């Protein structure tokens, strides 16, 4: 049987118009531009308007990806949205995206929730569908409205997060595309980074606020160590060397975490696609927003090898190694 690979045929991205700077945040909480930039690498983040949602932002990114791929909407035979901030508890953001795009073929559409690692989990699922022949044209989006689950009085978290959406269109190909995906979870660390479900909390009569709670320093250390290991695991799975990697497209959580992973790979920071400074941490949207930037500005070229990686609540972590 001819091998089937998942090829990246199109990318897209969307950022809301409102920009909130470190300066703006220093009027809300006891912080400063220098503290935030030095500790995180972030200067600005985009904030969704009241009428914007995970599916509305994903729609804009998805239309760009479909246009770049030159694929008709009714050819899409699977839609996966990675999000921790869906429009509704249900239907899924993927169903709402399907409706927004007017795809009435009945193709499956579902969300994947793996916090900041959501996109690598979604890419992994999409890749399995394509490899087995269960799907041929898969739309994957990562879309988040983090600003609605952030406590704007908590300086340890509100400085980190932003809103936005990224999308990628994968098509079946006889030429190598996604070389491997590696995904992992360990629920033992669930209390280091979490956001309560307000409905469940009400039922359990818990008083905890339904915002992001994070023990940042502990998460930081776990992220650096775990991402170092996933890099080795990913290259080993494909029999490749560090020198084979052209670009690192990381989840954009903290410049110090990203720099540690680049160092582990022996890559210079010029080989890292960074969006962090002006977008902050957009959770599951960040990888695809960075990929969109790297492809559209011409840095990522056909034939090059791109390593994507992410770490998030759960803990969850993973990677996707892709030949463009």
Half-sphere exposure of residue 90: CA atoms within 13 angstroms, side-chain side: 3
Indicate whether 228 belongs to the interface with ligand UT7 (CB under 6 A).
no
Among 14, 121, 220, 324, binds ligand UT7 (CB under 6 A): 220
Closest approach, Cβ 315 to ligand UT7, in A, equals 9
Q: Which is nearer to ligand UT7, 61 or 116 (CB)?
A: 116
Indicate whether 39 belongs to the interface with ligand UT7 (CB under 6 A).
yes
8 Å CB contact between 170 and 126: yes
Indicate whether 223 belongs to the interface with ligand UT7 (CB under 6 A).
yes
Give yes or no: 251 in active site: yes
Q: Return the residues of window 8-37 that contact ligand UT7 according to CB under 6 A.
A: 31, 35-36
Residue nearest ligand UT7 (C-beta atom): 216
Q: Return the residues of window 295-324 that contact ligand UT7 according to CB under 6 A.
A: 311-312
Which distant-in-sequence residues (6+ apart) come within 8 Å of 213 by Cβ? Answer: 157, 193, 194, 195, 196
Q: Which is nearer to ligand UT7, 60 or 262 (CB)?
A: 262
Closest approach, Cβ 281 to ligand UT7, in A, equals 5
- Going by DSSP bridges, is the β-strand pair 137-145/163-173 parallel, antiparallel, or unpaired? antiparallel
Which tokens hold the place of 208?
Answer: 């905890």
Half-sphere exposure of residue 170: CA atoms within 13 angstroms, side-chain side: 32
Rounded distance, CA 229 to CA 56, Å?
Answer: 36
Indicate whether 43 belongs to the interface with ligand UT7 (CB under 6 A).
no
Could you give the angle at the alpha carbon of 253 between the alpha carbons of 315 and 46, nearest 5°? 125
Which tokens hold the place of 169?
Answer: 């269109």
Asked, as a colleague might, if the bond just before 91 is cis with ω within 30 of 0, I would say yes
Stretch that binds ligand UT7, among 127-135, 139-147, 213-221, 264-272 (CB under 6 A): 213-221
Q: Return the residues of window 80-139 that contact ligand UT7 according to CB under 6 A.
A: 116
CA-based nearest residue to 195, from 41, 31, 51, 312: 312
Stretch that binds ligand UT7, among 87-95, 122-130, 218-226, 300-308 (CB under 6 A): 218-226
Residues in contact with ligand UT7, counted by CB under 6 A, come to a total of 20
H/E stretch holding 308: strand 305-312
Tell me, residue by residue from 170 to 209, as one string, x for binding to ligand UT7 by CB under 6 A and - for no binding: ----------------------------------------
Indicate whether 254 belongs to the interface with ligand UT7 (CB under 6 A).
yes
Q: Helix, strand, or coil here: 57?
A: helix
Closest approach, Cβ 148 to ligand UT7, in A, equals 17
Active-site residue, selected from the candidate residues 116, 146, 158, 195:
116
Indicate whether 212 belongs to the interface with ligand UT7 (CB under 6 A).
no
DSSP 109-165: EEEE--GGGHHHHHHHHHHHHHHHTS-SEEEEEEEEEGGGSS-TT-HHHHTTB-EEE
Q: Return the residues of window 153-172 that contact ligand UT7 according to CB under 6 A.
A: 155-156, 159
List residues near ligand UT7 by CB under 6 A: 31, 35-36, 39-40, 116, 155-156, 159, 216-217, 219-220, 223, 253-254, 257, 281, 311-312
- Catalytic residue numbers, as ranges: 116, 251, 281
């Amino acid at each position: 049987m001819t091998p089937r690979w998942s090829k990246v045929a199109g990318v897209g991205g969307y950022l809301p118009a409102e920009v909130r700077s470190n300066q703006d945040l220093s009027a809300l909480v006891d912080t400063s531009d220098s503290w935030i930039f030095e500790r995180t690498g972030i200067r600005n983040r985009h904030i969704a308007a009241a009428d914007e949602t995970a599916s509305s932002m994903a729609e804009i990114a998805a239309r760009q990806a479909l246009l770049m791929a030159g694929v008709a909407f009714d050819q899409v035979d699977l839609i996966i949205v990675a999000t921790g901030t869906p429009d509704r508890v249900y239907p899924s953001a993927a169903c709402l995206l399907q409706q927004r795009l007017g795809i009435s073929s009945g193709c499956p559409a579902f969300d994947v929730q793996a916090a900041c690692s959501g996109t690598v989990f979604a890419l992994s699922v999409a890749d399995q569908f394509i490899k087995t022949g269960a799907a041929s044209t898969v739309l994957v989006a990562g879309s988040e409205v983090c600003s609605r689950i952030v406590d704007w009085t908590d300086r340890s978290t509100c400085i980190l997060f932003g809103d936005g959406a990224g999308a990628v269109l994968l098509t079946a190909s006889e030429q190598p595309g996604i070389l491997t995906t590696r995904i992992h979870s360990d629920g033992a660390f669930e209390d280091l980074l979490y956001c309560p479900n307000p409905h469940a909390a009400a039922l359990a009569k818990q008083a905890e606020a339904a915002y992001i709670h994070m023990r940042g320093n502990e998460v930081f250390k776990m992220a650096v160590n775990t991402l170092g290991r996933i890099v080795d695991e990913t290259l080993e799975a494909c029999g490749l060397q560090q020198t084979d990697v052209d670009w690192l497209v990381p989840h954009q959580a903290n410049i110090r975490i990203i720099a540690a992973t680049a160092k582990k790979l022996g890559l210079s920071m010029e080989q890292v696609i960074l969006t962090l400074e002006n977008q902050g941490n957009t959770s599951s949207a960040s990888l695809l927003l960075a990929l969109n930037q790297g492809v559209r500005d011409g840095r990522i070229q056909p034939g090059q090898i791109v390593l994507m990686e992410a770490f998030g609540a759960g803990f969850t972590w993973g990677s996707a190694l892709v030949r463009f």
